[in-house]
Structure 1
Amino acid sequence: MIKMFRFYKTEVLKIKIMKSKYISLTLAFLTILFIMACKKSEVYENPYEGGKQPLGISLSLTTAPVPQEATGGSTVTFAATGLLPYKDLAVFSFNGQKAEILSITETGITVKVPEDASTGVATLSINDQVFFGPRFKVSGKISIDPEFRVSGGANRDIFAYYPLTDDRFIFLGAFTDYDGKGIITPVNRIARVFKNGSADISFRSGGADGSLYGIAPLEDKYITAGSFSGFYFNAGRSILTNINNITQLSASGEVDSVLVDTYSTNHSLAPGIPATGKKKAVPAFNGGTNSTIGKIYSYQNKLTATGNFKYYVSKRYDISRKPVIISGVTLYADSIVTDSVETPQVVRFNADGSLDKTFRFNSANNMGLPAGNGFVSSSYMQADGKLIVVGSFNKFDELPAGRIVRLNLTGTVDPVFNSGTGADQSIGSITYNPLNRKYLITGSFTSYNGVPANGIALLNEDGSIDQSFVSKGFSSDGGATFAKQLSNGMIVVSGVFSTYNGIRRSGFMVLTPTGDLAKGYNAIGSIKGYVNDLYETTNSTGQMAVMLIGSFSQIDGTTANNITRLVFEK
């Protein structure tokens, strides 16, 4: 009891002290207020003065417009209130494209859908105040194909495709899952899919440990290339290493390996220890590059690669490490030696991976030709084996080159290619349509061989510019990163632009062969991301369909994880 009393007394004392401190602080605070009150009052500016007064306008987000979907030129009424006092100041837009206002009432606004409008949010502005309305679907001759059955898509970029003869595709990229099938079977940067986009789970490739950018057939095999050093096998439980950005696959997608002798196979590593006689499993394709391969082509049983690498490399497994002497005993160990030859940006492999020294090779100095003095961004191999290379270089093999060159079968610059001074700035992509026999290039250039060409140009097969196509110009915030002409002449363009010829187009559009926006084919909304490539096909009703792959998450307001397909109506 005594101890409890002492504890209680101590706590009471603490409470009294705290109260005393509180009273003292309160008196001090009141004193400060009194002193401040005695000073002359000062008037400060209201930081919120001058703000815009509410206009009492409402553009309904809950009441659907009538009709809810329409083509360009149609009349649509949106529910709105409070507009009558401002009817002469109102500006109405469909996805950023100004519309003609036909009438304004107490309950709504009637407008005409612009011919060049695209799907997106409807907006109303009074001076500099903007009121957002509902998302409006502008219908046209292009739409997302409902037959394309891809629910999950790829979880990361799809960089390239390879069409098979049975309407299936092999996809390559940076993805580690495709359509949710990676949970069951590893999908490491390579997948085989059916025409409708669904995954072919019978494809058993373990995939690479880095990005894949290209694939080419070689007899009954495939050669795949990119930026990787290992390829998985045994259902992804094992990995074959010592790969330098390119390797050989079987028809089923499995990485091919061979058994080779190492130093210890035929030599003793230490006194009293006999040779093992065992061989080592290594990649069957013994060749590669010191850095990323962007494109790979097969021609006459040889493989040509382009990229921004500097060296061709190969492996040797039959050499020992430098021997070590311990207590007078000499010890050896197996070693993997990397041999290299300088062959910048363009290299040709023999079928086994060895360096083809008949292509771009100077035997006098034992190295490849110098290639470009700038970045190589893309390339395209013609049917005759000649190779077109584009990028940021203005010299190639020490010869003037306006960001584009064509190489002969021996790898030398083709003087017949009629590019003239070429592009005045970088070329980022090049595609070719064999039916129309035309090339399309995109980039940061503004002219080609002295002819105005704002970010996109159509070229003839000989490298000259086709002046029937005229670029109308992109927004200052970007430009085209990809363009390809379809068999009907229309041109699909993707990039980071927000307008074309002053008309709102958010990263995706369809042009006519002359460079104008194709009427009726630009109704879909923006794309979140960009297209890397496309494949022209047909759907079940025979309509033209275009499969898009790339680095995008949405198109026309619909989730599309790096793959989708569009239907083009006639």
Structure 2
Amino acid sequence: MNKRYCDNYRGWLHKAMGMLCIIALSLAVVGCNADEEDSIKENPYLGGREPLTVKLLSETPDPETAGPGTEVTFKASGLAKYFHKDENKFDFDFYISDELCEIATATDSTLTIVVPENVSSGTTYLVLENQIFYGPYFNVSGSVSVDQGFEYYKTGPSFGSIFACVPWAGNTQQTTEFYLCGDFKQSKNSAYSGLLMINNEKGLINFGTANKFALKYGIYGRIRVEDGNTISSYLAKLSGMDYWKADKESPKALLYGWFNDYERWSSLTLDGFNFRNVLLVNNNMTVITEKKKLPNPDGNLKEISVPVFNGGTDMLNEIIRAFSTTDGKIIAVTNSRWHVHIDYENTTCSTDGKAIIPAEVYTKIKSVMRMDQKGALDLEYRRSSVSPEEEALPGADGEIKDACMTNDESIIIVGDLTAFDGKAVNNIVKLDKDGVVDDAFSANVGAGADGEITKITYTSYLDENGISQERIVLVGGFTAFNGKSVPGLAVLNVDGTFDSGFELKNMEGGRPNFAKIVDLTPNSYVHKPHLVISGTFNKYAGITRQGFLILDMKGNAIQEFNVPGRFYGELYDAQYSLTSDYANGLLLTGDFTSFDGKRMNNIVMLKVDVKNVEKEETEEQP
């Protein structure tokens, strides 16, 4: 047998063996399939638990809204299997806004429950055998509700937040109008931004209103900031407004935030002129101007109109807060290191006078500065005694987040701070009217906050006995203040001591992000100050309160005031207002998308019926 024959034989043998293996494997698979067919002739799920046929229908309950203790009937289906009529026992539980409800009666198609004594509006659901069946949103009736007549909440300003809501200086007991400050646009199709005016009836007030709102453009939407070789773009904003205290007959307004153009001065009126994060304007919000004679390239003097106010800060940092004083000064709080103003004596203009080449003067500052009503830096306030023209006092070690001014024109500053003017602080410090650290306040706050303080609000109000009171409210990422455990919120007297009458209850699920005291009846003989809070929490004192609270000045969440449902977002301001039908109201502004089951656009008016809660609050007194 030759070699070629042997090789052919071995190849044939290998192919034959491969075919036999394939055939054997195929027979094995067929056999397995046959066994498998025999094995599933019976239903493997036979005898298992039947699926639940219960449904909680989305139909409107009867009554549609109700208060605690009221019986409400919901539409359902398939309930008959899961209750024992003779024993009045039920295999399921029913909840409103996560609060367990007493079940009064049930049929196969209806379920009657009793609204709990403490509950907020929210989603209803039934729980059976660890399964959840959702029903309709239920509105718990009380003394607080969304003012449907104030329809501006449905649209609101476009593309941005509302950082401040400032009552118009001309408001009376019969009128309430407000300026809104923020980084918003008026609407999607408008370039106007930053400042709006609204009233309690219609919402948005038309531009060009005499003595109130004569603007055309507002602030320019974006600012360009050069830092060395880096050019960055930021969204311009107005953070707030303070009325000019030195002239109450025809009050001017102090605007502040992060902006370098206003009413298109830099682009349309006077090229080359930039505002610097703060501006004093007329009482109709227009720029205050004066005539200046500036040299043009031909050597001739050209008379042009320029803004009277031209001071501020460099554009790397915003002005966080600015306050006017009774003696005609401006105090600004900022993380900026430079005061900037234009020296008109050395400024030139173009041939046609439509542009200037500003001679800008930079002076070092730190944390807090004082200016006059033209924006010039006050070299007698918080300056070095050796070289006041060149050096400021040390100011803050850390980042300033917020500030407020009290009745005596002291400034309280908060943030992520470890020292101020070389003195150790724990995220809060107070400066007296002359800008000097208040050591007595520092002693009273003691250990201060164990985390950063992000917001501070100050309120001067009359209590229920007509006695004048002052309080500051702190909010932030702290868990203790001066050794006392608190969930990121503290209510203090202006001397830094705790308000002994206020006791915050246990807060679960998150933290506050805003808190402010508002008098809900400022036009009444009996005043009703309350603390308005927003946040990420979902329970207060063991009761579901999802993101929004109205507390009395003892820290109680009176049921009648806390019926609104879930709040999504963050408040930046809360103001007393008349409602659309001229009753007591509360205007809320900020950055929020949902409130009490309704879509929101950063603003909402609440109706507040204080009379309904007077009896309940009296019963809460110890």
TM-score, normalised to structure 1, is 0.81
Of 230, 235, 251, the residue aligned with 2:261 is 230
Q: Contact 1:158/1:174 (CA < 8 Å) preserved in 2?
A: yes
How far does residue 414 in structure 1 lie from its aligned partner after superposition?
0.9
Task: State the distance in 2 between where 1:510 and 1:235 align.
Answer: 44
Q: Which moved more, 1:276-285 or 1:127-136?
A: 276-285
Distance verdict in 2 for CA 1:123–1:281, change over 3 Å? same
Task: State the distance in 2 between where 1:516 and 1:311 align.
Answer: 46
How far does residue 189 in structure 1 lie from its aligned partner after superposition?
0.8
Q: Which moved more, 1:555-564 or 1:523-532?
A: 555-564
How far does residue 354 in structure 1 lie from its aligned partner after superposition?
0.8
Q: Contact 1:286/1:352 (CA < 8 Å) preserved in 2?
A: yes
Residue 440 (str. 1) matches residue 440 (str. 2):
no
Unpaired segments ≥5 residues, structure 2: 1-21, 37-44, 84-89, 172-176, 221-235, 349-354, 462-468, 520-526, 612-622
Q: How does 1:49-448 map to 2 (within 5 A)?
A: 54-62=51-59, 64-87=60-83, 88-150=90-152, 152-155=155-158, 156-167=160-171, 168-177=177-186, 183=190, 187-196=192-201, 198-201=203-206, 202=208, 203-205=213-215, 206-209=217-220, 210-218=236-244, 219=247, 220-233=251-264, 241-258=273-290, 260=292, 265=295, 274-278=298-302, 282-290=306-314, 291-299=317-325, 300-316=327-343, 335-365=357-387, 366-417=390-441, 418-435=444-461, 436-448=469-481
Q: Contact 1:391/1:427 (CA < 8 Å) preserved in 2?
A: yes
Residue type of the alignment partner of 1:545: G
Task: State the distance in 2 between where 1:468 and 1:552 align.
Answer: 31
Task: State the distance in 1 between where 2:474 and 2:134 align.
Answer: 38
Render the CA deviation track for 1:86-110: whole Å, top value 9, x for unaligned: 4554221112222222333322222
Task: State the distance in 2 between where 1:122 and 1:89 align.
Answer: 17
Q: Contact 2:477/2:488 (CA < 8 Å) preserved in 1?
A: yes
Residue type of the alignment partner of 2:255: T
Q: Contact 2:200/2:579 (CA < 8 Å) preserved in 1?
A: no
How far does residue 233 in structure 1 lie from its aligned partner after superposition?
4.6
How far does residue 83 in structure 1 lie from its aligned partner after superposition?
3.3
Distance verdict in 2 for CA 1:281–1:467, change over 3 Å? same
Residue type of the alignment partner of 2:398: G
Q: SS where residue 251 of structure 1 aligns?
A: coil
Q: Which residue of 2 aligns with 1:560?
A: 600
Task: State the distance in 2 between where 1:36 and 1:428 align.
Answer: 74
Q: Which residue of 2 aligns with 1:481?
A: 514
Task: State the distance in 1 between where 2:347 and 2:80 align.
Answer: 90
Residue 550 (str. 1) matches residue 590 (str. 2):
yes
Q: Contact 2:276/2:340 (CA < 8 Å) preserved in 1?
A: yes
Task: State the distance in 2 between where 1:441 and 1:554 align.
Answer: 24
Q: SS where residue 370 of structure 2 aligns?
A: strand
Task: State the distance in 2 between where 1:320 and 1:147 align.
Answer: 53
Distance verdict in 2 for CA 1:208–1:339, change over 3 Å? same
Q: Contact 1:94/1:122 (CA < 8 Å) preserved in 2?
A: yes
How far does residue 506 in structure 1 lie from its aligned partner after superposition?
1.9
Distance verdict in 2 for CA 1:165–1:425, change over 3 Å? same
Render the CA deviation track for 1:428-448: whole Å, top value 9, x for unaligned: 222233123222222222222
Task: State the distance in 2 between where 1:529 and 1:232 align.
Answer: 31
Distance verdict in 2 for CA 1:54–1:318, change over 3 Å? farther
How far does residue 283 in structure 1 lie from its aligned partner after superposition?
3.6
Render the CA deviation track for 1:199-246: whole Å, top value 9, x for unaligned: 322322121122101222334532211111111258996576411111
Q: Which residue of 2 aligns with 1:522?
A: 562
How far does residue 58 in structure 1 lie from its aligned partner after superposition?
0.8
TM-score, normalised to structure 2, is 0.75
Residue type of the alignment partner of 2:333: T
Task: State the distance in 1 between where 2:290 and 2:80 align.
Answer: 81
Q: Which residue of 2 aligns with 1:25?
A: none
Residue type of the alignment partner of 2:288: D
Residue 509 (str. 1) matches residue 549 (str. 2):
yes
How far does residue 280 in structure 1 lie from its aligned partner after superposition?
6.0
Residue type of the alignment partner of 1:394: T
Q: Contact 1:490/1:518 (CA < 8 Å) preserved in 2?
A: no
Q: Which residue of 2 aligns with 1:330?
A: none
Unpaired segments ≥5 residues, structure 1: 1-31, 44-48, 269-273, 322-332
Count the aligned residue pairs.
Answer: 511
Q: Which residue of 2 aligns with 1:26?
A: none
